[in-house]
Amino acid sequence: MRKAMFAAAVAALSISCSQSSEMQFGQQDAAKIRERTQQYAEAFNSKDLQKVLSYYSSETVFMPPNAPTVRGREAVGDFYKGMYGEGAENLTLDSKDVGGHGTLAYESGTFSLNRKPASGPETRDRGKYMFIWRYYTAQKTWEMDYTIWSSDLPRRVTVPSSD
């Protein structure tokens, strides 16, 4: 009887140990990331810098085209201030692929963005982006850890005048 109890306990222990307690990435996570991406674009377009920065982790790494890597939420905020100063607006993000494992996920897609500076011509840009998201258990949310994007255009394209 003791041997049978011991064998049952060992079997139960090995079954419980074989089940991973690691977070599983699923369709709900992918949907949440897509939702957060659209909320981020809305915050960008309303020029709500604090809301925009709330989508980034405190240790975020930001890799804009034709510029040095930016590290940390505060430095990313300075980058956005520069973009807003150039009249950045009408950001659209079209999420194409979202996948992940555990608490890490990637998202790739396409973007477009207009700039209407106080002086000079209005320009348009379009290209692709990659976000690396991390789920922060304490905050119970997905935040961007890495951001990189590149343009499909050789330079900013001037928007034709509507005159």
DSSP notation for 79-108: HHHHHHHTTEEEEEEEEEEEEEETTEEEEE
Domains of the chain and CATH, by start? 24-158 (3.10.450.50)
pLDDT digits 0-9 by tens, 39-63:
999 999 999 999 999 999 999 999 9
pLDDT digits 0-9 by tens, 14-45:
444 444 567 899 999 999 999 999 999 999 99
DSSP code for 47 = T
Structure pTM? 0.81
